[in-house]
Each structure stands twice: as C-alpha cells, then as structure tokens.
Chain A
Amino acid sequence: MKVRLYSASVIAVAAMAITAILGSSQPLDLALIAVLGALSFLAEWLAFSIPYGGTVSLAFPMHFAAVLLGGPTAGMLVALMSSVSPQDIRARKGPLRLAFNAAQLSLAAALSGLVFVGLGGRPLLESGAGSLSSGLLGPALAAAAVQAFVNMSLVAVAMSLASGASLREVWTRSFSSYLISLLAMALLGLVFAQLVATAGYWSLVLLLVPFFVARQTFRVYEQQSEAYLATVKSLIEALEAKDPYTRGHSERVAEYAVGLARELALQESEIRRIEWAALLHDIGKIAISSQTLTKPSALTDAEFERIREHPLTAVHILQGIGFLADIIPMISAHHERADGTGYPYGLPSASVPAGAKILAVADAFDAMTSTRAYRPPMSYTAAIAELRSVSGAQLDADCVDAFVAWFEASVRADSVETSGDAA
C-alpha cells in the first residue's frame, strides 16, 4: 500500500511538472527531442549485460546530453520517451511500475536541467551558449550529480518501502557502486552533447559504433561463458560416473561453496571463480584407480600417497589455461588444514586462499553426507556437528560458521517453501 501511495505521488508530481513545462511559452527543439528520444529508446532496447552483474545502456547519457543541449524540457521529454522499453513490456511489468519509472526518469532529468540553468548554464544548442570548457563545465557536472542522485533516491525509497529494509541499507547495498557507473555515464553524456553541439547529430554515430561493437562482444562473451560452464559440468559428470559413490559430488560441492561464498558476502566475480574451482577440484583423481577410490578397507601408505597427489595432478592438468589461472591455487590447497597439517604442502592457514578454505568445508560436508564404500551417509545434523567439532583445526572456523548459517537458512527456506506448496 505504501509503495502504491509513494509511486502515485511521484507520478502526480511528474505529471504536474510535464504539464507546466509543456504549457509554458518556451519553444521546443523538436529535432533534438525526436533524435535523442529515438536513440535513447533504442539504447534502452539494446541494453546488454556485462560479466559479473549489471547492464550497460546509453539511455542515461542520452538523457543528460538532452539536458545540456536543450535544457530541462528537452531532458524531461527525452527521458520520458525511453522510459518504457520492449523488455518491460515482455516482462509484463504493471502499469503503475511503468508509470513510476517514467516519472522518476523525467523528474531526474528535469531537476538536472533546472540545476544546469540555475547555475548559469545555457543549453548548448542556443546561439552564443559557449562551450563546456569555457565556464559551463561546472554547471554541467553539478547537473550530472543531481540527475544521478535524484534517479537513485526515488528508486531507493521505492525499494525500501517494498522490502522493508532501511533506506540506508538499500542505498549501501544496491547503489554505492552504481553511483560510480552513473557518473561515468554522465561524462559520456557530456561527450555526446559536445559532439552534437560541434558537428551535428550525424556525429553520434562515432560513439554508437563502439557501443554496438561492445554489445556484440559481451553477448558473444556471455554465450561462450555459458557454453564453457555447461561443457565442463557435463565432462565432469562423465568423469565422476566411474565411481558410483562420488557421482554428482562436484556439482553439489559447487552448490555448497557458492552458498557459503554468498553468506560471506564475497564479490560476484570471486563467487564465480569458486564455483569453477569446486567443479574442477577433484579432477586430479582421474589418475587414481577406482579400486583405490572405492576401497572399503584402510588404504596402504602407497595408496594414500596417490590420494595426496591429486591436488597437484589437477594443477598439472589445468595449468596454462588463462581463464582458470585464479582458481588453480584454490584447487591445489583445498586439502590444506587450518592447523597447517594438511596436504600437499602443509601450508599455514594464513597462506591458504579463502576460496580453498571454502572448498574444504563444502567438500567435507558433501563427503560426510554421501554414501561411501566403507560407511553409510551421515545425517545433515550429524555432519553439521562434525563440522563444528573440527572447526579451527581441520577447517577454517569463520567458513564453518558461515556455512552452518547458510545451510540452516536454506533448510528453513526449503521447509517454508515445501509447506507453502503443500498448502
């Protein structure tokens, strides 16, 4: 209810502002609004994802360029024109949400334009306006900051009302890094505006070409990365098929390791690396016979030595693959122990990468809760108790605590979901 009321208020304010501006006697530069409006709609339509989260769209720079070239009215109308994209329609976003988005974008552009003009800036397409380097840069940068701030604040309040989280929490979690990219986009908007002011609309092509090149590059990158992960998963699955006791082990370890890494609030790029390391952590066992791996009785010294070599065998297999360079230290150290008595090197805890400590916990948990040739699986409760008992000696204490917190929260969430389904 609060969100609806808030959205409706923002929409009402924006509607009044648009009515007031359109009703004023100020002449409109229709060519500017048509060209930049169409381009920003196109930019929003063709927005693309970049690795490890986030999307890139040239819509914001276009809105800001419209502010600098034509003032608040032009900025507001251009923002309005690109506020609903085909993706929004496909995603079946509700009319209130669409209208709120249009309103907050228009208000941000209008306020930005008012600040620009209020600080002495003159729209660049007006005759005698001067250039951005001669006195207009200060007002332009202030306008950029206002546009970014208003844009994010209006959305942050809506998110806070919808989620129940505090405004400060929403701002810190969702927008602190976004602010930097938004300011970078504003700088690009400056360049757009200067291009049009100096050479005309055709010159925008000079920046649209690299945008399309980057878009194509990242799309192919995403496809390749997905294909890469799928291929490795399938081949690891085939590899694990030789041992019925470890079938699916690497995928489960990857799931646990990703959950634990998220609980530790690691960056998305690091979480992706840990997922890869988990999938490949036991690849060195290929050189160990099934007889040894599935032996129900105690291992001989020679057999145990073969087992201890498997992290280094994995390094040997994967070394030289640039994309995997960061995960090799995690794989090689996933059997090191917190007390420094692990293998293959007996490294002290401080020298073991965080990713390896995470893998060790995830690996141990899956090993305990899976059937082995020499014992039945442990219950989850018993396995958690065992993790706690070796915390600080075999396994890193912080990782164990985080894993237990994540696992218990996941179990709670699953049981809520299950009871919801049953109802």
Chain B
Amino acid sequence: MTPWVGTNRLAGLSTLAVGLLGMAVVDYLGVAGPADPVYFVALVLAYVAVEAIPLQLPRGDVLYFGVGVATASLLIVHPANAVFAMILGLGLAATSSGSPVPARLWGKDLGRRLVALLLAATVHSQLVDSIAPGSSQLSALTPALLGGVTYAVLDLTWFSLSGSRALGETRLQSAFALFRMLGGLYLGQISVALAVAIVRPGLGSLGVVVLLTLMLLMQHSFGLLLKVRLSYTMTVTALAQLPELQDGGSRGHADRVAMLAVAVARRMGMRGSALERISLAALLHDIGNLGVEGSVGDDASSVALRGARLLESVSILADLAPVLAMQDGEAVRGAKEGDVLAANIVARCSAFADRLGAEYSESRARDALVAMSCDDPDDLVAAALDAVVESGALPGAWR
C-alpha cells in the first residue's frame, strides 16, 4: 500500500466520523427531521458510485462529477441531510478506494462540492418559499432547476480556478473551455434530477433508483469518451516519439516542441481547434523519421516532407500534412488559412528545442533566442516565443 492510499483512507474515515457526528447533533437539535432511510442510503450510494466514475479531463486533472445527485438530494431530503449524504458518500468512497489522491487535494475537492451544495441549497430554499401553493409542476421545479444551475456554475468555476491550468491559459478561458466540454452533461444530469422530483410521489424509491442509475450511466459514457480522447492524444504522442527511440536517442523532444508551440500559439491569440492542430502538428513534426533508420541527421525539410506524405495516408491527420510540408516556409497545395503561421510556429519551436536539448537553462534559452532572432520587427512568432521564455513558465514544463 502506498503512503498516499493510507492517507486517503484516513481522510475518508475522518470524514465519515465527522458526518456521523454532525448527523447526531442535527438530529438532537431537531433541525432537519428524520430523513427517509431508503432515499438517504440511495443518495449515499449514488455518491459512492459517482466517485468510482471520475472524469479524466484533457488538461490532465480529474473531475469528480456529482451535480445530478446533489440536485436530486435537494429535492428528496432536507438540505441538512443532503449535506450529510454527500459527506458520508464521499467519505465512504475514500475509505474503500485505493486511489492515490493526496489527502490535501481530496479535502479541497470535498470542500468545493460542499460549498456548491450549500449555496445551491440556499438558492433552492429561498425560491421554494416564494412559490405559491397550487402552482404548476413547471413553476414548482424552478427552484430545483436554479439550485442545480447554481451548483453547476460554482462547481465548474471553482474547479477551473483551483485546478491545474495549461501553460498560459487564463482562468476565464479555462472555465469557458470546461463549460463547453461538460455543459451538456451538466444539463442532462440536472434534467434527470428534476425528473426525480416528479416521479418520486408516484413511483417512490424505484423511480429514484432508476433515475440515479441513469445519471451514473450518462456519466460513465461521458467518462469513456474523455478517456478515448485523452488516450488518442497520448498514443499519438507515444508514436510520435518512436523516431527518437529508433536511433537510440532519448524521448521527449516532440513533447517539448508541442508544449512550447501551444504556449506560443496561445500567446498569439489562438484558441480551441487551432491550438489542437498546432499541438498535433508539433508532436508529429519528426514523424517523417519513422521507419527510416539513421535519419536523425537528415535536414528538417526532407523529414517534414516525408512526414507530410505519411500523414496524408491517415484520414484524421491528413489535414495536418500541409503544416508539416510548409516548414521550410513555402506554401503548398491544400493548405488552409493559418497553416503557414502554424508551420512557422512549429518550425521555430522545434529549432529552439533542438538548441536547448533535454535540460532547460535560462542562459541557454537566451542564447537560443539571440541565435534565432531575425531583424523583422513584425515577426510575431519570435515576439511570442520571446514572451513565453520571459514568462518564466518553461523551466517547470520542460521535461
């Protein structure tokens, strides 16, 4: 057992103890009234299941997703019991899990979700009080809808602020990117939670269990998608590094060029799919060496042309071929708008990374910049590369 696992278990047990103690106190004070044990246990188990389906985000960190269960809990138990269901569920999951998450990070994650739930509960209870008796089902669901949306917004915002951020990405961009990726899942889960409120009086615990299961299945399917996306990038990265291995070299050059090219492109204002294209093109810029033994010394443009021919045969990567083919600066047929710039960025970053090698040092970075400098004051790529180096973010990311 690794030390982290032990720490995580301890955190889980402590959380369970705090949750049970809190429930006893609330029960003694008579604040929440007794929770229906079937619903309460269903919620606790749903949280345990949510913890077993983490969403591995492309930026590298993991989001534990519980907006549907949290919204449903506001609708079927008292807010105080909803909070305890979350605490016990997450505590139980941590106690039984072998996932090596440091206790400090786990505690922050629990805090994020508890705060989101408390604020959602506040919004929900304020609005419930304002609903006139006898209102339509649609009006009666509005508080829960807004409670769920509150949870989602807080959850996403906090996660994007506190989580790891890609080099040079602002917090707002990070939050927006997360919302674009996960918005549909949040909406779907809140919808199912609202359905729980409608079917519960008629179907009882069976309806609640069916819908909680539906939420978990939805989350699982989304987790699969994220996993295959992330694995695709990682596999292309691994395969892109093969030319480095075939001549007994060390791995990492392609990865460093990709990291640097993305930072430069972001500094130049590129976003979304344009950044993804730059990242893939940079990762694959030496793929022309694949299967060509003794090709490390070949000049960059012939390697790039071989790589472009290879990518032309891979349907999903074929549109990157012009980016590779233009690394010597000459336009080619089939190039899209922006490909010349992308090719320029990749070529410069590759040259910079070649000069630095595997070890980063400030002095060598400056020497490389001086050696690569050109006289054109309008050279935006050079200016962006300069700014990225000056930002001081590279030493930590150079691996």
Chain A interfacial positions (CB closer than 8 Å to B): 50-51, 131-133, 137, 187-188, 190-191, 194-195, 197-200, 202-203, 205-207, 209-210, 213-214, 216-218, 220-221, 224-225, 227-228, 230-232, 234-235, 237-242, 283, 286-287, 289-290, 313, 317-318, 320-324
CB of A194 within 8 A of CB of B238, answer no
Contact yes or no, B291 A238, CB < 8 A: yes
Residues of A with C-beta under 8 A to B130 = none
Interface centre among B199, B217, B218, B238 (most CB of A within 10 A): B199
Known A207-B195, A322-B56; judge A213-B184 contact (CB<8 A): yes
**Chain B neighbourhood of A51, CB < 8 A:** 224
- Flag whether B227 is at the interface (Cβ < 8 A): yes
Contacts of A137 in B (CB 8 A): 203, 206
B245 within 8 A of A: yes
* Contact, CB under 8 Å: B238 / A199: no
Which residue numbers of B lie inside 8 Å of A, CB to CB?
A: 56, 137-138, 184-185, 187-189, 191-192, 194-195, 198-199, 201-204, 206-207, 210-211, 214-215, 217-218, 221-222, 224-225, 227-232, 234-236, 238-239, 241-242, 245-246, 248, 287, 290-293, 310, 313-317
A131 to B200 alpha-carbon distance, docked (Å): 11
Q: Are A234 and B313 interface neighbours, CB within 8 A?
A: yes
Complex Cα distance A197/B316, Å?
Answer: 48
18 cross-chain CB contacts under 8 A: A131-B203, A133-B201, A188-B210, A190-B206, A198-B137, A200-B137, A206-B194, A209-B187, A210-B215, A213-B184, A217-B222, A225-B228, A231-B232, A231-B239, A238-B287, A239-B291, A242-B291, A322-B56
Once the chains bind, are B210 and A286 in contact (CB under 8 Å)? no
Q: Are A194 and B231 in contact (CB under 8 A)?
A: no
Q: Count A-B contacts at CB 8 Å.
A: 176
> Does B231 contact A228, Cβ atoms closer than 8 Å?
yes
Instruction: Pick the residue among A194, A207, A241, A286 that contacts B202 (CB under 8 A).
Output: A194
Minimum CB distance partner of B231 in chain A: A323
CB contacts (< 8 Å) of B234 on chain A: these are 320-323
Bound together, the chains give a CA A241 to CA B290 distance in angstroms of 9
Asked if residues A323 and B228 are in contact (CB atoms below 8 Å), the reply is yes
Is B228 within 8 A of A224, CB to CB?
yes
Find out whether the CB atom of A198 lies under 8 angstroms from the CB atom of B245.
no
Instruction: Note all chain B residues with C-beta closer than 8 A to A321.
Output: 231, 234-235, 238
Q: How far is the CB of A223 from chain B (nearest CB, A)?
A: 9
Query: Which chain A residues lie closer than 8 Å to B230 at the CB level?
Result: 322-323
Contact with B199, one of A195, A202, A216 (Cβ below 8 angstroms): A195
Selected contact of A224 from candidates B138, B204, B225, B293, CB within 8 Å:
B225
Contact of B184 among A200, A216, A228 (CB under 8 A): A216
- Which of B195, B199, B245, B292 is A317 in contact with, Cβ under 8 Å? B245
Are B191 and A209 in contact, CB atoms less than 8 angstroms apart? yes
Inter-chain contact A213/B206, CB cutoff 8 Å: no
Give Cα distance in the complex from A187 to B204, angstroms.
Answer: 13
Complex contacts, A200 vs chain B, CB 8 Å = 137
Measured between alpha carbons, how far is A137 from B234 in the docked complex, in Å? 49
Residue in chain A with minimal CB distance to B56: A322
